[in-house]
Amino acid sequence: MDTRRKILRDPSAWQPPPGATAAAGPFDPLLARHAEQLELLKGAAPALAVYVTEPPDPLLPAEARAELVAALRCVDVVFVSVPPPPDAIDLTSDHLEWREQLIRRIAQAAGSGA
């Protein structure tokens, strides 16, 4: 299956089922922690819609991040270049913190010659 078919730019192209969960975050870059977080959010919900948002100074283009998120089995639809709805769970603070932790680990490893 080409998971890029899950990526939409028009919110009217998808009608969420009752009880669907919406989440928004930058996913820059997509980490295992993000996948685990999305799995938990999906839970028993009939669908999980993910809105890929723009972080400050993105490492990857939004389209690439959307493709990576769309490849996750727990994700039913990914919106890119679409503002998330007001009821979406905002994952931005977690994602920015995890990104900074990753950058620090890489810098430390590069500094130690590892």
Q: Angle 69-73-75 (CA atoms, 0-180°, nearest 5)?
A: 55
Name the residue type at position 104: R
Q: For each of the domains in the chain, give its residue range(s) and CATH number, in order of start.
A: 3-112 (3.40.50)
Q: Is residue 114 scored above 80 in pLDDT?
A: no
User: What would the two tokens of residue 108 be?
Assistant: 């430390």
Residue of 36, 40, 64 lying closest to 52 (CA atoms): 64
Q: Is residue 105 scored above 90 in pLDDT?
A: yes
12-66 tens-digit pLDDT: 999 999 999 999 999 999 999 999 999 999 999 999 999 999 999 999 999 999 9
77-98 tens-digit pLDDT: 999 999 999 999 999 999 999 9
